[in-house]
Chains A and B, each alone.
Chain A
Amino acid sequence: MRPIAVTINGRVHRGEVEPRTLLSDFIRTEGLTGTNIGCEHGVCGACTVQLDEEPVRSCLMLAVQADGRAVRTVEVLALGDDLHPLQRAFQDAHALQCGFCTPGFLMSLDVFLRRRPDPDDEEIREALAGNLCRCTGYLAIVEAVQAAAKALRGAAG
């Protein structure tokens, strides 16, 4: 077992883990169950979190590798009942049905829109390619991203 200290959403989480413990499992056992585990081999994107401002698959990282690093999970987006513009756009556009994939989409898109505040459709589709959704057929998600981008640009301006 190894002692680790991972900053998740601004708070330090200390734990003792086996080296083989995946970051996704560590995050969830810390009570942050918004991060969902789908395929566990890096295909579905449901477990996407941010590591030092980069989107990463938390099932393809060991928890020990996050020792001393800063992780952001979906729980960081809303401020109390006040949803993040991306979350509000997903709700408004019906960009989710079962919602299992949604946290991964949100954490990927949060980084994407910070880097590309005014993306075109093709860029949005490429940005979505690393996350699978079996319910929506993606069109509503593309609409939600456009709406969120607009809202975020408004908030920034």
Chain B
Amino acid sequence: MKPAPFAYEEPRSVEEALDLLARYGDEAKVLAGGQSLIPLLNFRLARPERLVDVNRIDELAYIRRQNGVLHIGALARIASLERSPLAAARWPLLVEAARLVGHAQIRSRGTVGGSVAHADPAAELPAALTALSASFHTASQRGSRTLAAEEFFVTHLTTALEPDELLVQITVPPLPSRSGAAILEHARVHGDFALGGAAVVVALAEDGSCARASIALLAAGPRPQRAAAAEEALVRGQADLAEAAELAASESSLSGHRRALAAELTRRALTVSAERAMA
């Protein structure tokens, strides 16, 4: 099908976009890469009165490192992240996560900010960014906010973004030394949304014990699901990797096959992360 008619705005700067969102926020949808929104428009499942297309805001399309922190502009394409030498060298988890998003024809247009703002709980980048303790930076004419993943992702397809707010940037802190990370998922068909998966970061102490663990499950609840009890058990040395993975799955609302899948993928992701941390 074809989209219903809508008014179309094409701001060239963040300032212009915020002005439009302040004026039309309630009736407008932000259009980024369009790989989720345009299917919804084509099906007429979404019929916004107005689209604010941010694709020509060049100032938001960057991936760079400042003071050790990774800065990803909301309009950076997922393909750019996938091919970023900077991400590959220092935050390879993001490259692994980007490769799992849809297909090449989706990643070329899809944006990191769009994936995050769409907040599909089965999406890879929100889970990876949650595991990496990323911060989400929003802007509006009322001011800017910086939110942690736990604050930003509210529930299924819902974030803390207000109608007049734009997600402008995501920052990712540096990983500790002797750390490793991995994201694993299972989908029935390559490129489909996953039935289960886990993004994991593990950091080792001098003595080889677990100094920090970060586990974010995808497709395991209404939003990327941090497994706090499992993380704590690992750091306190109260659980081995398999036990921690079981605990992580039990912290979700999953049952049956999906729960077993989440536990197994978490166990494998923890194992790979620990090996990488030791390498």
Contact = CB atoms under 8 A, between A and B. Distances in A.
A19 B8 contact: yes
Interface stretch (A57-65, A82-90, A147-155): A57-65
Contact of B106 (A18, A42, A64, A127): A42
A35 interface: no
Contact of A127 (B6, B34, B79, B104): B104
A99 B53 CA distance: 35
B106 A57 contact: yes
Contacts of B55: 65
A40 B8 contact: no
Contacts of B8: 2, 19, 62, 64
How many B residues are at the interface, by size bracket? 20 to 34
Contacts of A56: 105, 108-109
B249 to A, nearest CB: 28
Contacts, number: 83
Given A48-B105, A57-B109, A40 B5 contact: no
Nearest to B7: A19
B103 A60 contact: no
B43 A41 contact: yes
B6 A20 contact: yes
Contact of A130 (B3, B5, B38, B191): B191
Interface of A: 2, 18-20, 22, 25, 40-42, 45, 48, 51, 54-57, 59-62, 64-65, 108, 111-112, 125-127, 129-130
Given A40-B42, A54-B109, 9 more contacts: A40-B2, A41-B39, A42-B39, A55-B104, A59-B42, A60-B35, A61-B38, A62-B8, A65-B53
Instruction: List the 6 closest pairs (A to B, CB-CB), nearest first.
Output: A130-B103, A19-B8, A41-B39, A54-B108, A129-B190, A20-B3
